């Protein structure tokens, strides 16, 4: 089983580097995005020292981190599942001795590893156009980011299973990407969200994919707030895991009823 999962992870890693032109364009896009955000927010701040309790330096560091995180952790398995369900090749995934969900998780892990390798030459350039400095919160940041990655993976797996009913997850995946990036705070920190929108963003799990880890890194959250955020992340993981397990039982039963 371990060997099979390693094989899926290797496939996910190679998938990340399958198209060299796309790799180059993606890297340039990430650099340009961080640079443009720096220009825009520098102009927005103007002569002000801070807004929403964030200095310009903290904001730029936050935005740089949030976008690097999103690039590295964005799920690709929703597209893979969409293609394989539509073409019927998901049958071979279900026929393997390793479970379907572990296969998808291993593939995503390999793809994420590839994204991290891809970031290695990009990060120095991004750091030049961003404003990331050292921090004393590196450990809680890493823990929060890892837990946030698990939350994102579980939500992506849920979308994969929805395809067993809809046969079409392209629109759902696109909607998920737009909503998750917005409420993860990759373009605008959640502390800038007004009224009901801020309450909604605080209630959803998406903030743990971007805002919370980056806010921890720049010192935006106190020790008590960090501890609470980590506990809530664990609670979200438990809830999403239970939902995923229940949905998988229904999805697998449906496939068997339909003759595979």
Average per-residue pLDDT for the chain: 82
Q: How far apart (Å, rounded) are the C-alpha atoms in residues 19 and 90? A: 24
Which pLDDT band, with edges at 50, 70 and 90, does 254 fall under? low
Which candidate, 70, 113, 66, 72, places its Cα nearest to that of 217? 66
Helix (H) or strand (E) holding 175: helix 170-184
Any idea which of 15-24, 40-49, 182-191, 207-216 has the lowest mean pLDDT?
Answer: 15-24
Task: Say what the pLDDT of residue 258 is.
Answer: 46
Which pLDDT band, with edges at 50, 70 and 90, does 243 fall under? very high
What lies within 8 Å, CB to CB, of 82 at 6+ separation is 163, 168, 169, 170, 173
């Amino acid at each position: 089983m371990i060997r099979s999962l390693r094989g899926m992870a290797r496939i996910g890693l190679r998938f990340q580097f399958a198209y060299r032109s796309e790799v180059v364009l993606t890297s340039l896009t990430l650099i340009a995005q961080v640079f443009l955000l720096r220009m825009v927010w520098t102009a927005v701040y103007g002569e002000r020292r801070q807004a929403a309790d964030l200095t310009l330096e903290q904001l730029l560091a936050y935005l740089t981190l949030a976008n690097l995180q999103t690039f590295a952790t964005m799920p690709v398995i929703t597209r893979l599942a969409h293609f394989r369900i539509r073409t019927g090749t998901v049958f071979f995934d279900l026929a393997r001795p390793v479970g379907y969900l572990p296969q998808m998780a291993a593939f995503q892990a390999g793809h994420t590893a590839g994204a991290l390798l891809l970031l290695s030459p990009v990060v120095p350039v991004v750091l030049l156009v961003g404003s990331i400095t050292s921090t004393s919160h590196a450990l809680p940041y890493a823990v929060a980011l890892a837990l946030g990655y698990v939350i994102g993976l579980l939500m992506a797996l849920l979308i994969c299973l929805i395809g067993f009913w809809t046969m079409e997850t392209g629109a759902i995946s696109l909607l998920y990407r737009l909503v998750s990036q917005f409420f993860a705070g990759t373009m605008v920190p959640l502390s800038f969200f007004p009224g009901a929108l801020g309450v909604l963003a605080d209630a959803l799990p998406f903030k743990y994919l971007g805002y919370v880890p980056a806010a921890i890194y720049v010192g935006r959250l106190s020790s008590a707030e960090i501890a609470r955020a980590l506990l809530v992340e664990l609670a979200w993981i438990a809830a999403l895991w239970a939902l995923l397990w229940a949905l998988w039982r229904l999805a697998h039963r449906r496939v068997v009823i339909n003759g595979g």
